[in-house]
């Protein structure tokens, strides 16, 4: 199964909320809150986007 490559989105939008199409293949919105990206995505016709707040992934963690 092909890896889902989110690295470019994560690099560009760290600490922002982002919304993707439901297949996770395309960015449809970014913003400072979950509410803002849900509204933006729905305006673009994406009713059930995948959403996440972009973390800093440079921290390696054990636990």
Q: What does the block give as tokens for 46?
A: 């994406």
Angle at 55 between CA 8 and CA 21, to 5 degrees: 55
Determine which residue in the list 12, 13, 22, 42 makes contact with other proteins, applying CB under 8 A: 22
Under the binding rule (CB under 8 A), the answer on residue 45 touching other proteins is: no
CB of 59 to other proteins, least distance (A): 5
Locate tokens 């890896």: which residue?
Answer: 3
**Residues touching other proteins, count (CB under 8 A):** 34
- Token pair recorded at residue 28: 């449809």
The site for other proteins (CB under 8 A) is made up of: 1-7, 10-11, 15, 17, 20, 22-24, 33-35, 38, 48-61, 63
């Amino acid at each position: 199964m092909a890896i889902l490559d989110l690295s470019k989105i994560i690099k560009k939008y760290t600490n922002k909320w982002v919304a993707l199409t439901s297949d996770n293949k395309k960015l449809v919105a970014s913003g400072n809150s979950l509410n803002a990206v849900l509204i933006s995505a729905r305006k673009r016709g994406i009713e059930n986007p995948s959403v996440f707040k972009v973390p800093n992934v440079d921290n390696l963690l054990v636990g």
